[in-house]
A and B are shown apart, each in its own frame.
Chain A
Amino acid sequence: MEQIDRSGLLVLHKYNDFANKLLLDTAAKMSEEEFTRESSPSNGSVRGLIMHFILCEYSFILRCNGTPLESINEDFDNFTFDQIRELFTRVANLRQGYLETAGDEGLNEIVHLTIRKLPLDLPRWQMLAQSLLQSIHHRGELSIVMTLLGYPLPTLDPIIQFVKESGQEWAWG
């Protein structure tokens, strides 16, 4: 069966970090009213969408490193924008640290989780892939919602990150 190994997950993780920073830089230009306004059929608002996908990222890395979700007791509903940005950094650092030390055995090990009271057994690499690919989808949603609010996102294509990392020039800046 095919799988994404540690190196592949690190590619997805680094791209995710790159794209999330561009997203937050644009969202930081919005007023509080624009940020929280009912503007999206998915998760209600820009804030709702951003919190949805970063909390998914957070929950999956916690499950991977064995931290009980019940031990997290933070008032996410009232996080300021600065606190949200700090949460993104914290989650990215957690995942980076986990992936730097994870072995293939650990990534392939099945973890038991419960979603809506139903048990689900998946290897860690699948949980990490889910969280990273889901964020790409939601940034796509945000690109429409934020453009309609007057805050278009820059192009988030991974090829731009690949080109810049290799010291080449990207044609569109």
Chain B
Amino acid sequence: MDSMNKSSLLVLHNYNNHANKLVLETAAKLDEPAFTTSSSPSHGSVQGLLTHMLTTEFFFLARCEGKPVISKPDAPPLTIEEIGVTFAQIAEERRKYLAWASEDLLAQEIIVPIGGHAIKLARWQFLAQSLMHSAHHRGELSIVLTGLGHPLPTLDIIIKFAQESGQQWPYS
């Protein structure tokens, strides 16, 4: 069976960190009403979409680490500043986890309760899910933020690859 090793997950993690920062920089330009207003058929608003991405990244990382996840349904909505800080904390925690985890640990199956079912998958699958899930929702945000007058810059990973290798990206 095909799988993702630590190196592959680190590529996705580094890209996720890069792309989330670009999204947060754009979202920070919205005023409060635009940030919270009903503007998206997916999770209601920019605030709702970002919070959903963030909690999903947190949930799967914590499950891989074996840490408890305590739901706080009555917690007040997060501000853009709080979302930015929390994304950075999750990214740092995942970076440290991936640096520490062995290939065997990432391949080991764990059980995570989802929708009343005990889902048994390898840790790498839960981590890949959280990172690819965020890529999908950044696509949703690209439409929603454009509709609010704040289009995202191009988030393509090839731009990161080109810049990291010291080459010029023709569209920048």
Contacts and interface: CB of A to CB of B under 8 A. Distances in A.
A110 to B, nearest CB: 9
Interface stretch (B4-12, B29-37, B65-73, B85-93): B4-12
Contacts of A140: 135-142
A17 B116 CA distance: 28
Interface residues of A, number: 51
B121 A42 contact: no
Contacts of B135: 133, 136-137, 140
Q: Is the interface of A mostly helix, strand, loop or mixed?
A: helix
Interface extent on B, as a size class?
35 or more
Contacts of B151: 41
Interface string B147-172: 10001000111100110010111110
B133 interface: yes
A3 B8 contact: yes
B1 to A, nearest CB: 8
Contacts, number: 154
A4 interface: yes
Contacts of B140: 140-141, 143-144
B128 interface: yes
Nearest to B41: A147
B142 A121 contact: no
A144 B143 contact: yes
B170 A118 contact: yes
A129 B159 CA distance: 12
Interface of B: 2-5, 7-8, 10-12, 14-15, 40-42, 114-117, 119-121, 125-126, 128-129, 132-133, 135-144, 146-147, 151, 155-158, 161-162, 165, 167-171
